[in-house]
Structure 1
Amino acid sequence: MFTHIVFFKLKEATQDNVDKVKNILLSMNGKIIELKGLEVGVDVIRSDRSYDIALVTKFESKEDYDVYAICDYHLNEVIAKIKPLIQCSKTVDYIG
């Protein structure tokens, strides 16, 4: 399995913005064939070190992730819609 994790820091972490980003991320479920697992978590600690949202996605292989990374739904329905709300993001990718 290939796991892709993204941590998002929002420009303004209002409840509306958090819910909007979470729902947009969750909308990928069932729409991207290569995506085998999807989890979205909202931070509850809210410390100085915290990011606001975590996305955990699972793929059969790195090659399937590569297809996901450039697929229309991911680019146009997810990234394009959340990008204006995101201050920064960090990723971790691993095989295991």
Structure 2
Amino acid sequence: MITHIVFFKLKDRTPESIESTAQVLRDMEGKIDELLHLEVGKDILFTERSYDIALVTKFASLDALQAYQVHPVHKKVIEHMTSVREASVSVDYES
């Protein structure tokens, strides 16, 4: 199993902007066969070092993660995230 985690810091950090972007991420659920698990969390501490949204996804293999990366639904999400994010960081690991 491969776990893929991404943290996003948004340009617009209002609750409405964070929620609408979190919903864009949630909307991938059930639309990408390789995506076995999807969890979206919104930050609750709002500290200087906090990121606004965490995306946790799981895949059966590296091949499945790579298929997800180029899936049309994910590509549309990438377009959105590129326009709204100030920064992002990620980690991928075997779980």
1:51 positional shift: 0.4
Q: Paired residue for 1:91?
A: 90
1:49 positional shift: 1.1
- Cα offsets for 1:11-69 (capped at 9, x unmatched): 11111110111000000000000000000000001111110000000000111000000
Listed as ranges, the matches of 1:48-59 within 5 Å are 48-59=48-59
Q: Paired residue for 1:46?
A: 46
Q: Any stretches of 5+ residues in structure 2 without a counterpart?
A: none
Q: Paired residue for 2:79?
A: 80
Q: Paired residue for 1:32?
A: 32
Aligned-CA RMSD value: 0.7
Percent identity over paired residues: 45
Q: Paired residue for 1:62?
A: 62
Write out the 4+ residue segments of structure 1 that deviate beyond 3 Å after TM superposition. Answer: none
1:82 positional shift: 2.5
Distance of 2:10 and 2:4 partners within structure 1: 19
Distance of 1:81 and 1:7 partners within structure 2: 15
Distance of 1:57 and 1:4 partners within structure 2: 5
TM-score normalised to structure 1 length: 0.96
Distance of 1:60 and 1:19 partners within structure 2: 28
State the number of aligned residues: 95
